[in-house]
């Protein structure tokens, strides 16, 4: 009887320690060809592709030279698109 009481007493701190974890949710992910990818990775890829598309659009309308320096502008555009997609899709 005493052995069972010791086991219960040892399990109570474990259960109390797990209570804060009850609110944790599963991370958003997508199943692509049987492999799960985190949502931020897809948002980052889409953001980079949108930044590349924006570069070609700026080249077509001859506005790229007005926005300088490009080494700062394009990573900022990629971050803008990435975070914007994350907020629009996942709130």
To the nearest 10 degrees (0 to 180), the angle between helices 70-90 and 39-60 is 130
Question: What global pTM score does this model have?
Answer: 0.65
* Residue 76, CA distances (Å) to 2, 43, 50, 69 in order: 65, 14, 12, 11
* Banded model confidence at residue 13, pLDDT cuts 50, 70, 90: confident
Q: Where are the domains of the chain?
A: 28-90
Instruction: Give which of 46, 24, 28, 44 is closest to 91, Cα–Cα.
Output: 28
pLDDT digits (tens, 9 = 90+) for 30-78: 777 777 778 888 899 999 999 999 999 999 999 988 888 989 999 999 9
Looking at the DSSP assignment, which residues form a beta bridge with residue 49? Answer: none
Omega cis (within 30) before 83: no
Instruction: Give which of 16, 76, 37 is closest to 8, Cα–Cα.
Output: 16
């Amino acid at each position: 009887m005493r052995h069972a009481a010791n086991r219960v007493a040892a399990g109570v701190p474990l259960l109390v320690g797990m209570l804060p974890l009850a609110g944790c949710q599963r991370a958003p992910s997508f199943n692509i060809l049987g492999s799960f990818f985190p949502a931020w990775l897809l948002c980052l890829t889409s953001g980079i592709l949108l930044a590349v598309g924006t570069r070609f659009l700026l080249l077509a309308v001859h506005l790229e030279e007005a926005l300088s320096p490009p080494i700062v502008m394009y990573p900022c555009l990629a971050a803008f698109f990435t975070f914007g997609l994350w907020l629009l899709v996942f709130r």
